[in-house]
Structure 1
Amino acid sequence: MRFVGWYVKIALGSAMVGAAMELFMIHTGFYDKVTVIESEKRAWETSPEAQAIKDALNPWRKQDEEAQKKT
């Protein structure tokens, strides 16, 4: 109970910094930009080009899958 004042000050300061960061991100449109970037990333990952690149980078993947099915 001796340092309760310090803990309260640290908690309030941390809450204020967090709130300021959230307000800054909302004000600058950060969440909208992240949403667009994530949707573009997911669209690319499901595209045929991305699947062809994945297959080309790991030619042993099908062999690994067959080996797991056999066990």
Structure 2
Amino acid sequence: MTKFVGWYVKIAAVSALVGASMELFMIHTGFYDKVVVLEAEKRALESTPEAQAMREALNPWRKHDEEAGRKSSS
């Protein structure tokens, strides 16, 4: 175990360096700003009446499942 400590330290240092460089790249290129905008657009689209109607149309048993869950927990 003790003869491999140097190896583990090297792997940890390289991993930390790679992770930090990836984070710096994402910050420098504005990746997080783009993700925030995309997530806001996605949530806005998902809350429209059309999206809610589509969600209900794709799962016609949702209300039935909710009622069955309420009856079994009572």
| Range of TM-score over shorter length | 0.7 to 0.9
Query: 1:68 Cα deviation (Å)?
Result: 2.3
Equivalent in the alignment of 2:65: 64
* Gapped regions of structure 1 (runs ≥ 5): none
CA RMSD of aligned residues (A): 1.3
CA distance in 2, matches of 1:16, 1:37: 29
Pairs aligned (count): 71
State the TM-score, normalizing by the size of structure 2: 0.83
Equivalent in the alignment of 1:43: 44
Question: Cα distance 1:46–1:2, how it changes in 2: closer, same or farther (>3 A)?
Answer: same
CA distance in 2, matches of 1:64, 1:5: 56
CA distance in 2, matches of 1:43, 1:70: 33
* Gapped regions of structure 2 (runs ≥ 5): none
State the TM-score, normalizing by the size of structure 1: 0.86
Equivalent in the alignment of 2:18: 17
Identity percentage of aligned residues: 73
